[in-house]
Structure 1
Amino acid sequence: MFSKPASQLAFAALWIALAATHAAQAAADASASRQNAPVAPVAHVADQRLSVRADGGGTLPLYADRNIDAAARDVTHVFIIVHGTLRNADNYFDVGGQMLAASGASAKENMIVAPQFPTTRDLRTFAIRDNTLAWSEGGWKAGAPARRPSPVSSFAALDALLEHFDDRRLYPALSMVTVIGHSAGAQVVQRYAVAGRAEATLTRDGIRVRYVVANPSSYLYFDDQRPVASGAFTTVDTQACPRALEWKYGMADAPAYVATQDSTSLATRYATRDVVYLLGTDDVDPHTHFIDRSCAAMAQGPYRLARGLAYFDYLKQRYPAGLNQRVVEVPGVGHDARRMLTSECSVAALFDRTMPSACPTRSSD
């Protein structure tokens, strides 16, 4: 393993302190309970609908900068942006527009799409009684089946969204789809990058797929190894932390969408997928922005930046060859989707431009 820079060494003392006292664990448990508490219903339900046919079917709300069912012959790149815990897809759609503006890229050739994963409470609030899909508060984040009108996994809904763009009658020039998530949305995108089925179809038809994982609370590990403050990895104590190996932190007890696939094949395939981890260097507060402080999450590190850096070290050790992924650190940015995605570091990663020297980057090399 390469030597640790100051940014990684700095979190070691905090990590030790967090693990050292019973009071810290009690605070973690209380924070975890607050994280799982219901959040307010959404302010808006998206105005477009995508038909999802899997598992009984339904429709997925989404925002897009044009009618998704109309021909868009000039579009070469579609950006799909997944919202966070608040399910505020409208805000993330706006962030996508700001990202595109910051890049200076053509709005004619680049399309912004923001799917929304509403809860049953959201639909009751707006008296929506049609076949719009709705999940539980935490279910959509983990690929669980919808609560209504049929048990469609949120991952199957993402499959349908990606496959929608694999229609040369509507998108004849499309060459790339980038799936972006920030915070809870990044949790979705990282797990979907492991288990998602649509990429094979798009790749076959000449469309590249990239996954951008920005500041998630936790990651999916493939075995029982977890980081410790020294920078090494050790076997997690499942007696003290029984959920550490369970989905969505590990592969055990995964939802049906994942469990019906071979876990070894998923892990091997994940290393080959094009994944960029965007990490804000100031996302170091262990008590903010719905951060997951459960025992299983704390086993991955004390805060989001630490967890992301440790996870990439884990992947490099697990896959010494053939890892098609990289980390881009965004200096001076904390847990802020707009600042993350409009930064020069993110724009360079998203649009395949030369990375500025101010943006620390780690690759599998």
Structure 2
Amino acid sequence: MSKLTLAEGAGSFLFRDDGAVPAPRTMRVFSYCPRSSSPDTRIIVAMHGVDRAAAEFRDLLAPQAERNGQIVLVPEFDPDQFPGVHAYNFGGVRLPPPDNTVLPRDRWNFAVIDRLFQHVRQAIGSSRETFGLFGNSAGAQFVLRYLALNEAASVDMAVAANCGCYMLPDLAKEYPDGMGGIGLAPSHLRRYLGRSLVILLGDADNDPDDPHLPRWDEAMAQGPHRLARGLWHFEHCAALAKSLGVELGWRLEIAPGAGHVDQLIYDQGANILKG
């Protein structure tokens, strides 16, 4: 394992992902390391938005991470290697329409998060065996799908903030709108509903005319804006868990006064993941 030194404060490094299929690839990871770090310092992996602005996202998370004593890692899913929503938000599970082919599981893009965490913890001598996961908007779409489709054994808590549209925990509905058609079983559904997950919503993220709001039919059926969709989805999943006899591991948190891209969301997300 190559030695990795995380610069105090803001920095970045190249991560060679040797486990990527069909061939190894290199990603840039933007990091933040607090002034008072130790082998037990909490690690957070954060998923940027559809703008792919990983460095800026790291900078937004940094102030509260410094106050909380947290290492932040933001892997950059650049559009050349991960083009479009199907390769990033949806995890590279299927090829985009009109093809729609389901790719082999070892080609899905979720496992890079686990490999990055293991690389960093070993390289810096961290004693942490688990990490916190955070995503806002498109990043939250990735987070939810990662939790739903994978074992995700190294994630102890996740925060999905201000999703524009939610994948339904429904095996009869085709992925990416639901969880069907990609080889999942009812056990995956039950595991997903039992995750330690916080759905974080800004109560001012309520603009039905937001130009970036998803507007396909399944999205519009969930509500007129992101706040409404988040509230609807949480209640829907709570009712589903009850009907399945599963103890819902999720909770809902509202960030008062917070809009879609808002420092209040980033600070509250970091605080939830203080762990």
TM-score, normalised via structure 1 length: 0.61
From the superposition, tell whether residues 136 and 348 of structure 1 become closer, same or farther in structure 2 (CA, over 3 Å): closer
From the superposition, tell whether residues 47 and 290 of structure 1 become closer, same or farther in structure 2 (CA, over 3 Å): farther
Q: Which residue of 2 aligns with 1:54?
A: 20
- Say if 1:118 and 1:135, in contact at 8 Å, map to a contact too: yes
Same amino acid, percent of matched pairs: 27
Q: Which residue of 2 aligns with 1:351?
A: 274
Equivalences for residues 14-33 of structure 1 within 5 A: none
Q: Which residue of 2 aligns with 1:144?
A: 92
Q: Between Structure 1 and Structure 2, how many residues are aligned? A: 246
Would you say 1:297 and 2:219 are equivalent positions?
yes
Structure-2 separation of matches of 1:311 and 1:295: 15
SS at match of 2:223: coil
Would you say 1:327 and 2:252 are equivalent positions?
yes
* Gap regions ≥5 residues in structure 2: 1-11, 96-105
Structure-2 separation of matches of 1:171 and 1:47: 16
SS at match of 1:144: coil
- Say if 2:140 and 2:162, in contact at 8 Å, map to a contact too: yes
Shift of residue 62, structure 1, vs aligned partner: 1.0
What does the per-residue CA deviation read over 1:257-284, in whole Å, with 9 as the maximum and x for residues that have no partner? xx24x33221111122110111000100
From the superposition, tell whether residues 113 and 337 of structure 1 become closer, same or farther in structure 2 (CA, over 3 Å): farther
- Say if 2:48 and 2:138, in contact at 8 Å, map to a contact too: yes
What code does the residue aligned with 1:157 have? V
Shift of residue 61, structure 1, vs aligned partner: 1.9
Would you say 1:135 and 2:82 are equivalent positions?
yes
What does the per-residue CA deviation read over 1:153-198, in whole Å, with 9 as the maximum and x for residues that have no partner? 321222322333564x74442154111000111111111111133x
SS at match of 1:297: helix
What code does the residue aligned with 1:350 have? L
Would you say 1:317 and 2:265 are equivalent positions?
no
SS at match of 2:29: strand
SS at match of 1:141: coil
From the superposition, tell whether residues 59 and 146 of structure 1 become closer, same or farther in structure 2 (CA, over 3 Å): farther
Structure-2 separation of matches of 1:74 and 1:351: 16
- Say if 1:76 and 1:176, in contact at 8 Å, map to a contact too: no
TM-score, normalised via structure 2 length: 0.80
Q: Which residue of 1 aligns with 2:48?
A: 83
Larger Rg: 1
* Gap regions ≥5 residues in structure 1: 1-45, 67-71, 121-133, 203-207, 226-244, 254-258, 353-365
What code does the residue aligned with 2:92 have? A
From the superposition, tell whether residues 74 and 187 of structure 1 become closer, same or farther in structure 2 (CA, over 3 Å): same
Specify which of 251, 261, 264 is matched with residue 339 of structure 1: 264
Specify which of 89, 96, 111 is matched with residue 156 of structure 1: 111
Structure-2 separation of matches of 1:338 and 1:84: 14
Shift of residue 75, structure 1, vs aligned partner: 3.8
RMSD of aligned C-alpha atoms? 2.6
Q: Which residue of 2 aligns with 1:250?
A: 178
Q: Which residue of 1 aligns with 2:99?
A: none
- Say if 1:289 and 1:335, in contact at 8 Å, map to a contact too: no
- Say if 2:15 and 2:116, in contact at 8 Å, map to a contact too: no
Equivalences for residues 1-365 of structure 1 within 5 A: 47-56=13-22, 57-65=24-32, 73-101=38-66, 104-106=67-69, 110-120=70-80, 134-138=81-85, 139-144=87-92, 152-165=107-120, 167=122, 170-174=124-128, 176-197=130-151, 199-200=152-153, 202=154, 209-223=156-170, 245-253=173-181, 259-260=182-183, 262-288=184-210, 290-320=212-242, 321-343=246-268, 346-352=269-275
Structure-1 separation of matches of 2:265 and 2:54: 16
What code does the residue aligned with 2:47 have? V
From the superposition, tell whether residues 328 and 289 of structure 1 become closer, same or farther in structure 2 (CA, over 3 Å): farther
Structure-2 separation of matches of 1:308 and 1:278: 8
Shift of residue 141, structure 1, vs aligned partner: 1.1
